Chain A
Amino acid sequence: MTNERISAWLDGELQGGTVAADAATREACEAWWLIGDVMRREKLLSPDFSLRVMQALENEPTVLAPRSAPVVAAERPAANMPRWMPVAAAVSGVVVVAWAMLGTRPDQRPAAEVAVVAKAAPAERNVLALVRAPAQQDDETRAYLLAHQANGRGVQMAGVSGYVRPVSFDQGLVASR
């Protein structure tokens, strides 16, 4: 490496390069750092200060350490998390619960399942009868269902159990009546 490149490295202007710590480099760097410090009126030490430090280090065991790296956020995963993540997590949690609740609503069932709202009496207004049948029922069948809905077996459905009561329908039974 030429001395000009060493000079540039010393100023942090040598892109992607480094210098070997050989005798020529050390001598050049030492003189140039001294010149800079003199120009900035730094306090000067004995000319052999570096030599004395390095001689003292000769008795020290050589440093061997794992390759150091700046502290990375991986040590604290939360440090990398965007600030909106906790809010998004809370909102998504609410959505999931709401979907589980509302997903059982009668009006979200398949088209083949038709919800029929009873209109006959005030007491029956909130009662839904679920029938797997064509949308068009004759009036007789509809009347039968309404008349017997109270005798149907209750079904425990989360969130809507108070509003849903299925009733059974037997075409043959209706016909015999």
Chain B
Amino acid sequence: MSDREIDQQLVERVQRGDKQAFGLLVSKYQRKLARLLSRMIRDPAEVEDVTQEAFIKAYRALPAFRGESAFYTWLYRIGINTAKNYLVSQGRRAPTTTPTDSEDAESMDDGDALRDIDTPERLMMTRQIGETVNAAMDALPEELRTAIVLREIEGLSYEEIASVMDCPIGTVRSRIFRAREAISERIRPMLDIAPDKRW
């Protein structure tokens, strides 16, 4: 099952009335969409507001989404239009370098530049989470670290990872899961959201 098929599965669940399934799409795409919109809107707080508005617009428009394009492409298009409308309402113009094609948004790599304009608090949080993840990675056994890097950084499939690491696919699945569990144990306290405050 491809990434697009997973999204389509979630979209269909939302279209059948499962609102919580939309929350999974929000969790998955919030940072990617925010990165895209950061190219148009400089203020990080505004970026969050516009990203949130884009998700709400996407939810409202979801009945009309028929899967002709990938969900993220459709979502990015809504995000770009939301940001443009926001800038117009603020009497500002979108930067001329704005990626008007949502397909281009996937290949953007501007994370370093964005962090330069973040607030000190956000920079602190980003740095802390980054350091914690890195420390947790360093503490992982070699085979778990290799498996999660090949998956998350290199984007390899389980079959490809199994070939690289010369082990069964089931072992790859187990290693990636154990790596995730070990890292998430470290960062969970930093997310600091009480269980009753979760969506």
Contact = CB atoms under 8 A, between A and B. Distances in A.
Contact of A12 (B5, B137, B191): B5
Range for the number of chain B residues in contact with chain A: 35 or more
Interface stretch (A54-62, A103-111, A134-142): A54-62
Contact of B31 (A3, A14, A42, A53): A42
B61 to A, nearest CB: 9
Contacts of B152: 35-36, 39-40
A148 to B, nearest CB: 78
A34 B24 CA distance: 12
Given A21-B20, A54-B23, A32 B180 contact: yes
Contacts of B9: 18
Interface string B122-142: 100110011001000100000
A3 B177 CA distance: 8
Contacts of A66: 15
Contacts of B133: 35, 38-39
B181 interface: yes
Interface of B: 1-3, 5-6, 8-9, 11-24, 26-28, 30-32, 34-35, 38, 48, 51-52, 55-56, 59-60, 62-68, 111-112, 114-115, 122, 125-126, 129-130, 133, 137, 148-149, 151-153, 157-158, 169, 173-174, 176-177, 180-181, 183-184, 187-188, 190-193, 195, 197-199
A84 interface: no
Contact of A63 (B17, B125, B157): B17
